[in-house]
Amino acid sequence: MPKQVTTNVKELLASAKWAFATRRVARADAVQLMCPASQAVSGDLVLARVAHIGSHQRVQLTEGRSSTLYPGDLIVAACGARYATDQFEGVAQIDPNGTDLLAGGGCLGIMRVRNGKMRQPTRVVPLGLLGDANGEVINLDRYALPAKRTRTDACVIGVIGASMNAGKTTAAAAYIRGLRAAGFRVGAIKATGTGAFGDFNAYLDAGAHWVGDFTCAGMVSTYRQPIDRIEQALATLIGTATEAGCEVLVIELADGVLQTENAALLRRPEVREQFSGFLYAVSDALAALGGQTALRQLEIEPLALAGLITTSPLNVAEAKAATGLPVLSKEELTDPLVAAALTRSTRPSCPDQLAA
């Protein structure tokens, strides 16, 4: 059990920048600091002081805005792992002498590898783990949504991609906008990835009636988490969105279909059966064809292609010829007639007409 640190914790926490991933935390629960921070596990809350500004020059706050970081700033974030092919791969470990800000949404860990285009990560010095009045370390899981196993009658559309930055969120937000314009109550879910407000806010801005992600289920990141836990989190998010009255759920998986946790989820028949269909975001025709082959091994045939490929008419033509799949641009997905038609093309459980 970590030992208590005697200091004016209330003042320190009041002056700290609380990261987006901690937004469900009841701050009044944190009354002491616990050491050593090296005993942190994924989801444990950490108070840290910024030592050196690197790649992440801002932290995303619980209020939904970014705050510029300066050396000496205090932040509250969560221990976690990260997998991002365009940025960092890191593990959920805290080094008391200095640890890395792996994601601006508030994920702290130890970087293992980085993309060559990235600077070194921003470094922070942990002051301790947040503890409650009983001397227990506070973990994000404490504030998770109640677990659910509800089977939904809603239409569930997955948005998956060939890679990070393939245009998944843009496609998902456009589809949400089109569905909202068609009169549907839409739920938006980020099922895997690392906690950040970019996708969350994009869904809200598009008009989703209910938005949730894996941080709502108690995880700062799904990387290196047990697949059973991620599946349970997905069930909880689907059940909660359904209880909120959502008729269509748009669920995005981060990174690409080959990413370890995504692939493991999609290999499970009981997970695939929850989806009515999938949009597949890609950047070019070869990724479309290769991804189609990989997805067929998972018994998935996308409803359509979307994403960055739609910016290139030549790539679109190549992809259509190679895969036989339609390609839907952002503008098309925002069209209520297109969005409704895409919904009607899925399983019979989906709505079969424009909502009033």
- Cβ(310)–Cβ(189) below 8 Å: no
Model pLDDT, residue 6:
52
Model pLDDT, residue 355:
43
Rg of the chain taking only CA atoms, in angstroms: 21
- Cβ(92)–Cβ(42) below 8 Å: yes
Ordered structural domains, the chain, with CATH:
3-143 (no CATH), 155-344 (3.40.50.300)
Model pLDDT, residue 356:
40
Query: Rounded distance, CA 327 to CA 317, Å?
Result: 9
Model pLDDT, residue 346:
83
Amino acid at 302: P
Q: Are strands 210-213 and 186-190 parallel, antiparallel or unpaired?
A: parallel
Model pLDDT, residue 35:
85
Low-confidence ranges of the chain (pLDDT < 70): 1-7, 347-356
Q: What is the pLDDT of residues 307-322, one digit of tens each?
A: 999 999 999 999 999 9
Secondary structure tally for the chain: helices H, strands E: 10, 18
CB atoms within 10 A of CB 134: 8
pTM over 0.85: yes
Label residue 308 exposed, middle or buried (CB < 10 Å: 0-12, 13-18, 19+).
buried
Query: Rounded distance, CA 124 to CA 131, Å?
Result: 19
Q: Which of 153, 136, 332, 110 is nearest to 239 (CA)?
A: 153
Model pLDDT, residue 351:
57
- Supply 330's token pair: 């952002």
